Structure 1
Amino acid sequence: MADLTWHLRPPLEAHLLPPAASTAVDIEITPPGAFRLVQVMVRREQWDPVAKAVQQHLGAAPPNAPRIIATGPAELIWTGPGSFMAMAPEAEGLMLEGLRGALAGLASISEQSHGACHIRLSGPGIADLMARLVSLDLHDSAFPPGTAARTTMDHVPVILWRPANRADGTPCFAILVPTSYAESLLAAIANQAKGIEMPPTRPRVLNPNLDG
């Protein structure tokens, strides 16, 4: 009987394409393992001590409402009452590792870096695209930059937030999607983008080991 041979295949390998010129929708993919992500679950009646410890460690307190707070290279993302995620580039991973010591006895921390894919969307067709995929009101008056939500995109559970607009004022949207759903969501994004006035760009890969 022949021996089995295992071949490691990076998640989203089929979508990891070199950067392309911007068109109606700009798609940036940061694959699992190319960034650091931790989930923080605050223990009962410990929010104030946690907020103080995170402020001292990262330079900003975590959001206690559906918001996202950028502090240096890290982003603190609300995920529900008494919980948030901290995300940073892989090169800044030690910054998040330090949270374990800073929050010892105050919160439970779980490593999520390989459990999610980070997608950012922008471009002149972004409002049309998001209206097709998300049931939330994403107008600036209802979902301005800095806002976060747990929702679904094409029936896929995601954490969605608004980073700062691009320099030209174009809205940006950031998404954390479970790795097992990421390929389905990217296919849905590509399919919905086909109906927008201009075709979507190929995804831009934000991974120094794969980016061309």
Structure 2
Amino acid sequence: MARLLATTPCAGLDLPMTIGGARLSEVELGPVTSIAPFAGRAEEVEARLGAALPPPGRVGAADGGRLLWTGPGRALLVGCAAPDLRGLAAVVEQGDGMAGVLLEGAAAREVLARLVPLDLRDRAFPEGATARTLLVHMAVTLTRVGAESFEIIAMRSMAATLVREVAEAMRHVAARA
């Protein structure tokens, strides 16, 4: 009988890696759940979550996890299990179908500037900001988690492409230094 081994989304992708002034490492996301409250039910969803849904472009705290704004009336609950929201919201457990990486260091913003169509300056994308965007051709959720730190969440099936694209941009930025 075959023995199945659990692996992380970025297993075998040579992480962590440091190139120039940037470091890329895998993030253990824990449970990930997409939540979209039904019309008129947002307050009840917030009561069950024990937290307010985040305003556009921001991250909110949840009991043991984080709520990432992912669009009008939608959030991604990361790091803790979702409460029972039957009848209140469309809920999709993402399981281990998501990959998370952390890009950090003095060159992190410059690396991302080559990959995403966002203004990443402090006043436009401060700590605690999040956005659904494209990274090259992949849909990702980008969150600023520190002064020089960005978390990138993509579909697990895109993990190798995500790491390859970010690593290539890291090499290009390092070559200019």
Aligned counterparts, 1:156-171, within 5 A:
156-163=138-145, 165=146, 170-171=147-148
Aligned counterparts, 1:78-93, within 5 A:
78-88=69-79, 93=80
- 1:76 is aligned to 67
* CA deviation map 1:4-59 (0-9, x unaligned): 96875834322154x5778511212136xx6111111211111122223222xxxx
Distance 1:194 1:21, change over 3 A: closer
CA distance, structure 1, for counterparts of residue 14 and residue 170 of structure 2? 18
Higher normalized strand content (fraction of residues): 2
TM (norm. structure 1) is 0.73
Contact 2:10 2:26 (8 Å CA) reproduced: no
Please report how far the alpha carbon of residue 173 of structure 1 lies from its aligned counterpart in structure 2 after TM superposition: 0.9
- 2:49 is aligned to 54
- Which residue of the other structure, out of 16, 21, 25, is the alignment partner of 2:22? 25
- Bigger relative contact order (CA 8 A; separation at least 6): 1
Contact 2:18 2:24 (8 Å CA) reproduced: no
CA distance, structure 1, for counterparts of residue 166 and residue 122 of structure 2? 21
Aligned counterparts, 1:101-140, within 5 A:
103-140=85-122
Which consecutive unaligned segments of at least 5 residues does structure 2 have?
none
* Rg larger in structure: 1
Please report how far the alpha carbon of residue 83 of structure 1 lies from its aligned counterpart in structure 2 after TM superposition: 1.1
TM (norm. structure 2) is 0.85
CA distance, structure 1, for counterparts of residue 141 and residue 160 of structure 2? 16
Distance 1:71 1:152, change over 3 A: same
Contact 1:79 1:149 (8 Å CA) reproduced: yes
